[in-house]
């Protein structure tokens, strides 16, 4: 994979959603079929032999690559949603994030104990949403959990704080301010 080329085409939005944040907009990759294919193929190669039965995509950018990856892995796709978006009975977890408190939800029948689950999101920064997603998936007591993001913002140094039973991997590691003019 050409990480340098992908990094050079990553859109940076200064001061979004709040002043001082350098938002990494991965939709610039999703618009380009070569970039999207490269990202999905790279993730498929990484997880194709792990026995993944369910891919959980975190709202909302985690839905895009997560659902494509689920298809390629012949796995089910499970949306992890913000409150009030799921129509059936659900389980939820509340968590602190960098801009306040929030909650994530999943349908109560989404995962079985014999499932091997991959949790996918676009970006790892402070880790709040991913930690909460791990807690939510753990409620189902699956056989195994993997966690993946496309980008890790290394200046937050969060990777080592993930529990051993939720190993995390990111395909591109950059500093939050890399690519900022």
pLDDT number for residue 39: 97
Q: How long is the chain?
A: 181
Domains in the chain: boundaries: 3-174
DSSP assignment string, 31-95: TSHHHHHHHHHHHHHHHTTTT--EEEEETTHHHHHHHHHHHHHT-EEEEEB-TT---S-EEEEEE
- Dihedral of alpha carbons 108, 86, 132, 167, sign: positive
Distance of alpha carbon 112 from alpha carbon 159, whole angstroms? 27
Listing from the earlier edge strand, what are the strands of the sheet with 54-58? 76-80, 54-58, 116-124, 144-153, 168-174
What does each C-alpha distance from 83 to 62, 123, 147 come to in angstroms? Answer: 16, 20, 22
Catalytic center residues: 61, 98
Architecture of the structural domain at 3-174:
3-Layer(aba) Sandwich (3.40)
pLDDT number for residue 96: 87
pLDDT number for residue 180: 53
- Dihedral of alpha carbons 104, 110, 115, 120, sign: negative
Distance of alpha carbon 143 from alpha carbon 114, whole angstroms? 5
Q: Which residues of the chain have pLDDT under 50?
A: 181
């Amino acid at each position: 994979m050409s990480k340098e080329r992908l990094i050079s085409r990553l859109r940076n939005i200064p001061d979004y959603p709040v002043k001082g944040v350098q938002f990494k907009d991965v939709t610039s990759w999703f618009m380009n079929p070569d970039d999207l294919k490269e990202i999905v193929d790279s993730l498929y190669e990484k997880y194709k032999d792990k026995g993944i039965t369910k891919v959980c995509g975190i709202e909302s950018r985690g839905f895009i690559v997560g659902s494509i990856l689920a298809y390629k892995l012949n796995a089910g796709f499970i949306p992890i949603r913000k409150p009030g978006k799921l129509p059936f009975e659900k389980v939820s977890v509340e968590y602190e994030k960098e801009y306040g408190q929030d909650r994530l939800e999943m349908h109560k029948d989404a995962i079985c104990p014999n499932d091997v689950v991959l949790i996918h999101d676009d970006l790892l920064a402070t880790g709040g949403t991913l930690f909460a997603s791990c807690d939510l998936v753990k409620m189902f007591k699956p056989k195994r959990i993997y966690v993946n993001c496309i980008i890790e913002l290394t200046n937050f140094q969060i990777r080592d704080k993930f529990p051993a039973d939720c190993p995390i991997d990111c395909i591109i590691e950059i500093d939050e301010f890399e690519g900022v003019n």
